[in-house]
Amino acid sequence: MSWETVIGLEVHVQLSTNTKIFSSASTEFGNEQNSQANEIDLALPGTLPVLNKAALEYAIMFGLAIDAEINNESVFERKNYFYPDLPKGYQTTQLEKPIVGKGSVPITLSDGVIKNIGIHHAHLEEDAGKSLHSESHRDGYSLVDLNRAGTPLIEIVSEPDMRSAAEAVAFAKKLHSIVTAIGICDGDMSQGSMRFDVNISVRPAGSSEFGTRTETKNLNSFKFMEDAINLEVNRQIRVLEDGGKIMQETRLYNGVTKKSQSMRSKEEANDYRYFPCPDLLPVHVSKEFINNLRKDLPELPENKKNRYKEQYGLSEYDANELTENFLFAKFFEDSMQLFDKPKLLANWILGDVASKLNQANITLKDSLISPKHLVELLKRIEDKTISNKIAKEVFEEIFEGKGNADSIIKEKGLSQISDAKFLEELVSKVISDNPNMVEDYIKTDEGKRKKKLGGFMGQVMQKSKGQANPQQASELLIKHLNDIID
């Protein structure tokens, strides 16, 4: 039996406004518990909400970025349930009349095909607080921090258009690149700036009916999302193939144990009793308001990617990778201001820089590498002060904050040796020290000799502590070897 996977995503994006959606308390991350929860956030008796203009603007900007309908009238509703991190006992959100209507997001699949993922709608809502739990359940307690309560979110609901974990991840990454590029979200997933809920169901290939779906909540990394989807798809297929039925339920995925479990189900599904919030009036946005935002909308990743391809001749892959990550794109453009070598910069940023960041598990924002640093280093390769290989060593040092290219090269005496006399002597010595290798070289067919050079080069590099100019050394080796042959 061949199965098809059907995936829909609900993405919560924290808007990077200064203050909360309905109160003027700060949204800054990481401060002492309850130091950013004011009387409105605490739901003190008699307090009332007033809508943050920036939150509305950011939501509309998202809608514009995905070519969606912007609704002239939208309404806030109350979603009622009890939980300690929800001070009012209801969440103010939108239901029947959200701010952003239907839109679509194009993703590039692995084979290069472009697929449009439908967006059902996106709405504004407030985030809840956070809680910490004591170890034991018995006589246990929880500690509630309401700093996050009231932070503006947009919830983006996709159509169930994705058919694989890869598509879901591509979609999630695309959303991430859009919201960071237009500046409405800082994209820091470790801080919870973006959270994903995945709705997954399977059906026999070719069927048009949807299977029963399950929801896996609160995934905050692309890797976790991918793993969670694959796990759940396999689970569902196993259940169905064994003749069972899929229960509609909410599941939690544990990225550490790589297991998922059903959330303890309540006696009955929560009846949220949505109704329009009487403390807020309907939100009306004029065409003018929307057009002003459209005018000032920062460049979208898709457009930036195409521009990179045209303007700089970068490949689809490189342009995509650079523009998907807003910080990389900015780094790239800042570097380009200092050094007009787009391909070289792209290689280094997507190669060495990216891999060091990965290793250290930090983002560009937190790293010590600046465009200036990178450019200085690349200039030294260009003017042949150091070889590409040495440059990588120097880069490591720069990354750790041990100085800039010049200071490190100087300190470690890493200048490439291009002194012709020195190299001549060195090459001669290597050749004379290795008569067996020379014989081998002579015996080899001309076409295959290049490979044999490696051995000699290795010795040259070793004896010069890696500082011999490889190109020169290679030329000299070939010349001397050819002289011997002749």
What's the Cα-to-Cα distance from 374 to each of 138, 323, 390, rounded to whole Å?
56, 18, 14
Of the candidate residues 109, 116, 134, 183, the single one contacting other proteins (CB under 8 A): 134
Residue 22 beta carbon to other proteins: minimum distance, rounded to whole angstroms? 8
171/176 Cα distance (integer angstroms): 9
Is 282 among the residues that bind other proteins (CB under 8 A)?
A: yes
Among 111, 112, 141, 435, binds other proteins (CB under 8 A): 141
For position 143 contacting other proteins by CB under 8 A, the verdict is yes
Residue 314 vs residues 311, 344, 398: alpha-carbon distances, Å? 8, 10, 26
**Number of other residues whose CB lies within 10 A of the CB of residue 172:** 24
Q: Which is nearer to other proteins, 61 or 408 (CB)?
A: 61
Query: Cβ 65 to other proteins, closest distance in Å?
Result: 20
In DSSP notation, 213-240 reads -EEEEEE-SHHHHHHHHHHHHHHHHHHH
Q: Which one of residues 238, 284, 450, 465 is an interface residue with other proteins (CB under 8 A)?
A: 284
Distance of closest approach, residue 158 Cβ to other proteins, in angstroms? 25
218 binds other proteins (CB under 8 A): no
* Site size with other proteins, rule: CB under 8 A: 68
Measuring CA to CA, how many Å separate 440 from each of 448, 454, 470? 11, 13, 22
278: contact with other proteins by CB under 8 A: yes
Please identify which residue in 238, 259, 273, 343 interacts with other proteins, judged by CB under 8 A: 273
- Residue nearer to other proteins on the CB measure, 133 or 451: 133
Cα–Cα distance, 312 to 330 (Å, whole number): 15
Decide if residue 54 touches other proteins (CB under 8 A).
Answer: yes
Residue 137 interacts with other proteins (CB under 8 A): yes or no: yes
In the complex, minimum distance from the CB of residue 389 to other proteins, in angstroms, rounded to a whole number? 50
- Is 443 a residue that touches other proteins (CB under 8 A)? no
Q: Measure the CA–CA gap between 266 and 290, rounded to whole angstroms.
A: 43
| 215's tokens | 């929801």
Nearer to other proteins, 37 or 178 (CB): 37
78 binds other proteins (CB under 8 A): yes
343-382 binders of other proteins (CB under 8 A): none
The single residue among 111, 209, 242, 271 that binds other proteins, judged by CB under 8 A, is: 271
**Which among 431, 370, 436 is positioned nearest to 404, based on CA atoms?**
370
DSSP string, 363-407: -GGGSS--HHHHHHHHHHHHTTSS-HHHHHHHHHHHHTTS--HHH
259 near other proteins, rule: CB under 8 A: no
Q: How far is the CB of 98 from other proteins (least distance, A)?
A: 14
* Cα–Cα distance, 378 to 376 (Å, whole number): 6
Rg (CA), the chain: 29
Q: Which is nearer to other proteins, 49 or 371 (CB)?
A: 49
Asked if 33 and 147 touch (Cβ cutoff 8 Å), the reply is yes
82 binds other proteins (CB under 8 A): yes
Q: Does 462 bind other proteins (CB under 8 A)?
A: no
Q: Of these, 132, 362, 484, 485, which contacts other proteins (CB under 8 A)?
A: 132
Q: Is 254 in the site for other proteins (CB under 8 A)?
A: no
Q: Kind and range of the H or E element at 195? A: strand 194-204
Q: Does 30 bind other proteins (CB under 8 A)?
A: no
Name residue 13's beta-bridge partners: 154, 194
Does 8 help bind other proteins (rule: CB under 8 A)? no
Nearest to 359 by CA among 351, 483, 26, 389: 351
Q: Interface with other proteins by CB under 8 A: which residues?
A: 17-19, 24-26, 32-39, 42-56, 73, 78, 80, 82-84, 87-90, 131-134, 136-137, 140-146, 252, 263-264, 267-268, 271, 273-275, 278-284
